[in-house]
Structure 1
Amino acid sequence: MTPATRRRGGDLEAAIFDAVFAQLETAGYHGLTMEGVANAARTGKAALYRRWRSKDELITDALKHALPRPPTAPDTGKVREDLLTILTCTRDTLLTCRGAAFKVLKEEGEAGKGIVHDVVHERLSQPVRDLLYDALVRAAERGEIRPGAATRQIANVGPAVMVYNNLVQGGPLDDAYLESVVDEVLMPLIRP
């Protein structure tokens, strides 16, 4: 039997963040506890409390670690491709943290917005809506969509449909689904 190796630094942090996402996946935001994360990461609670004072701080750091910086705006010259690229990147980002962002938004949203919600808003939801809006504005300037379709409200539709599908219907966010959101929901809203 090999002796246990004490993990430190990045290795320990990676194990803790992985445990956070596993706990969010199985127990949800309200069911996540510092003790549960410590047990899943095979470390002590004291190691967690030395760095994070609360589960919100821990979840916030885990999300900041997992959620990449917002992507740059695609500009393929075709609105359908731009919208699909943005929604695909959004889906891939959400899957990186095992849907934790969805769960946090749903469960924390029931009790009001908090620090974790702010991180998801800042790192994911607002940048995605901005990218979609910018894609619509460029498409309107090219005459590809009707000018009145380049609105913030329409830019919100794609992500809203994705969140609804995931949280309420529990459906997959595969490529075919994303294409259906673009082709059956967004394109009819914006065509000239």
Structure 2
Amino acid sequence: MTRADSGAPADPGPATTRRRGGELEAAIFDAVFAQLEAVGYPGLTMEGVAAAARTGKAALYRRWRSKNELISDALKHVLPEPPTPPETGSVREDMIQILRCLRDTLIACRGAAFRVLKEDSEEGVGLVHDVVRDRLSKPVRDLLYEALREAAARGEIRPETATRQIANVGPAVIVYRNLTEGGPIADDDLASIVDEVLMPIVRP
């Protein structure tokens, strides 16, 4: 007797397993980052994400009208709330902690945030850029700037070095390394960026 003759339900198989709510959303967002790693922003399609998440394309379009909306929500899902000022009393330690937040965020989104921004395409501007700027880039730069200002007030660094331009240097080094080399950025690497690049710029 066959399975159909016996009245037993057919095995739906992994490709048609029904998932809903948070489980399905997590699978979709994971597929977004996997696709960004594999094919980049230009090659990412709603169809490709649906296939990687083992769901139907209709499930995506019911919630997201475009891939920009989908990528934006995926980034919001993994990007933490803006970090709080460390206020360690040491500008070196403040900068290391702030850059560590940036590093950990890059790990959480597999570097997708900056790979999307790197794409030289008008299609990639707008929602995605706004999310990365508001949740990651601007808060980190603002914290570094405030850390420099407080250090200048304490007499720990030269007052003229407490500028937004210098505050941008550390994140720029990390983003450049992420885009060109990839791979993990260890705590020792962060300390090296602060000790060999930033501190010589600001030290009295």
Of 126, 138, 144, the residue aligned with 2:156 is 144
Q: CA RMSD in A?
A: 1.4
- Give the corresponding residue for 2:43: 31
User: Equivalents in 2 of 1:130, 1:148: separation in Å?
Assistant: 17
Shift of 1:172: 3.9
Q: Which moved more, 1:164-173 or 1:69-78?
A: 164-173
* Structure 1 unmatched ranges of 5 or more: none
Of 32, 43, 66, the residue aligned with 1:54 is 66
Shift of 1:181: 0.8
Residue 51 of structure 1 aligns to a residue in which SS?
A: coil
Shift of 1:3: 4.5
Q: Which moved more, 1:165-174 or 1:70-79?
A: 165-174
Q: Which moved more, 1:160-169 or 1:115-124?
A: 160-169
Residue 170 of structure 2 aligns to a residue in which SS?
A: helix
- Give the corresponding residue for 1:69: 81
Amino acid at match of 2:200: P
1:1-20: CA deviation from partner (whole Å, max 9, x where unpaired)? 96554111111100000000
Residue 56 of structure 1 aligns to a residue in which SS?
A: helix
Is residue 197 of structure 2 the alignment partner of residue 191 of structure 1?
Answer: no
After superposing on structure 2, the runs of 4+ consecutive aligned residues of structure 1 that deviate more than 6 Å are none
Is residue 100 of structure 2 the alignment partner of residue 88 of structure 1?
Answer: yes
The number of equivalent residue pairs is 190
Is residue 86 of structure 2 the alignment partner of residue 111 of structure 1?
Answer: no
Q: Which has the larger radius of gyration?
A: 2
- Give the corresponding residue for 1:8: 20
TM-score normalised to structure 2 length: 0.89
Amino acid at match of 1:161: V
User: Equivalents in 2 of 1:132, 1:156: separation in Å?
Assistant: 8
TM-score normalised to structure 1 length: 0.95
Shift of 1:111: 1.8
Question: 1:11-22, aligned counterparts within 5 Å?
Answer: 11-22=23-34
Shift of 1:145: 0.5
